[in-house]
Amino acid sequence: MTGAPVLALRGVSKRFGAVQALTDVHLEVHAGEVVALVGDNGAGKSTLVKTIAGVHPIDEGVIEWEGKAVNINRPQDAQQLGVATVYQDLALCDNLDVVGNLFLGRELKRFGTLDEVAMEKRARELLDTLSIRIPSVRIPIAGLSGGQRQVVAIARALVGDPKIVILDEPTAALGVEQTAQVLDLVERLRQRGLGVILISHNMADVKAVADTVAVLRLGRNNGSFEVATTSHEEIISAITGATDNAVTRRQARIAEEAK
C-alpha cells in the first residue's frame, strides 16, 4: 500500500478502571484496503473499534485522519470524519421498510417533509451499485432474511459516503450463501476505494477478503501480516501467542492419528 493511510492509530491506550484494555496499539488503514482485525475473545478488538467509532475516547496515543491528528470523543465526531460502523446486532428498525432504515436519522427532505421519492431512488441506486438483491425496498425489515438484513445494515453505513467502514463480525450468524454475499459486498467496498476494518473469528473469511491481518493479543499488537504471504498457522499462533497452542496440538494429534 502506498500513500498516507486514511486512518492511523499510533500508540493508542485505553484503560477501564483497573483494566488496561489497550496498550500502545498501532493500526493503519489505507483507502481500498481491507484490514482484518483478529484476536481471541477479550483481546481488545471491540474496544479498539469503539475508540475509532467514538464510543470510548482514547486515554493515550494519537488518531490520525488522512495524516492529521484528530480527536474522536463522540460517535458524531467519527461520523463527521467519515467512519461508519456496522455493529454485530445491526440495529435496524423492524417495523420500518428498507428505505426508512437506510435513511434513518438523515432523511432527505423536500419543503420540510420527507422526500420519499428521492430516498427510494437513492436507495435503489445504492443497492444496485452494491448488487444487493432484496425482494422490495418497501417491505419492512422484519420480512428480510438474516443475510439480507446484514447487507441492508452495511448499505445503511454507506449512505453517508464514509471513507472507512468498520464491520463487526458481519458473517457470524450467516449461512454459506449469505456469507459469500457479504464477502462479495466487502470486496465491492474495496473496489469503491473504501477502507474496511473487518472483525472476524472466521479465518476462512479473513483469508478470502482481507489484504492485511492485524492481530491483537491481550490489548497489544501481536503482529500484522500480508494475507497473501501468510499461512493460516502463523496467524493462529499470533492470536494465541504461541506456536504451541490448542489448535496446533489438535492438528498434530490428528496428523498423528492419521498415520
Partner 1 sequence: MTTDPTTTTPVETAPPAIDPRLLVRKEGLAGYFDEFTRKIRSGELGSLPVVVGLIIIAAIFQFKTGTFLNANNLTNITKWIAGPGLIAVGVVFVLLLGEIDLSLGSVAGATAAITSVLSVRQGLNEWLAILLAIVSAIAIGALHGYFFAKIGVPAFVVTLAGMLAWNGLQMLVLGELGTVNNPMDGVVANLDTYFLGDGDILWAWLFAIVTIVLFAGGQLLDSRRRSSAGLPARPVSEIALRTGVIGVVVLVAAYMLNQDSGLPLPLVILVGVVALGDFVLRRTGYGRQIFAVGGGIEAARRAGINVAWVRISVYMISAGLAGFGGLFIASQQGSADKALGSGNVLMSAIAAAVIGGTSLFGGRGKTWSALLGALVIQSITTGLDMVHAQQAIQYMITGAVLLAAVVLDSVSRRTQKSHGRG
Q: What is the DSSP string of 207-229?
A: HHH-SEEEEEETTEEEEEEEGGG
The CA distance from 207 to 165, in Å, is 19
Is the four-CA dihedral 234, 235, 239, 240 of positive or negative sign? Answer: negative
Residue number with CB closer to partner 1 (3 or 105): 105
Q: Does 92 bind partner 1 (CB under 8 A)?
A: yes
Q: Which stretch binds partner 1 (CB under 8 A): 30-38, 93-101, 194-202, 230-238?
A: 93-101
Which strands form 19-29's sheet, in the order they lie side by side? Answer: 19-29, 7-16, 60-65, 68-70
Q: Does 91 bind partner 1 (CB under 8 A)?
A: yes
Residue number with CB closer to partner 1 (133 or 250): 133
Element (H, E) at 195: strand 195-199
The binding track of 129-168 with respect to partner 1, each residue x by CB under 8 A or -, is: ----x-xx--xx-xxx------------------------
Element (H, E) at 166: strand 164-168
Contact partners, residue 7, CB within 8 Å, separation at least 6: 27, 28, 29, 52, 63, 64, 65, 83, 163, 164, 195
Question: Is the backbone of residue 38 left (phi > 0), alpha (psi -120 to 50) or beta?
Answer: beta
Contact partners, residue 117, CB within 8 Å, separation at least 6: none
Residue number with CB closer to partner 1 (95 or 251): 95
In the bound complex, what is the minimum distance in angstroms from residue 184's beta carbon to partner 1?
Answer: 13
In the bound complex, what is the minimum distance in angstroms from residue 140's beta carbon to partner 1?
Answer: 6
Residue number with CB closer to partner 1 (117 or 242): 117
In the bound complex, what is the minimum distance in angstroms from residue 96's beta carbon to partner 1?
Answer: 6
| 71, 73, 76, 251: which one binds partner 1 (CB under 8 A) | 76
| 24, 94, 226, 244: which one binds partner 1 (CB under 8 A) | 94
In the bound complex, what is the minimum distance in angstroms from residue 21's beta carbon to partner 1?
Answer: 22
Regarding beta strands 164-168 and 83-86, do their DSSP bridges make them parallel or antiparallel, or are they unpaired? parallel
In the bound complex, what is the minimum distance in angstroms from residue 117's beta carbon to partner 1?
Answer: 5
Q: Does 100 bind partner 1 (CB under 8 A)?
A: yes
The CA distance from 207 to 237, in Å, is 15
- Contact set with partner 1 (CB under 8 A): 75-76, 87, 89-96, 100-101, 104-107, 109, 112-114, 117-118, 120-121, 124, 133, 135-136, 139-140, 142-144
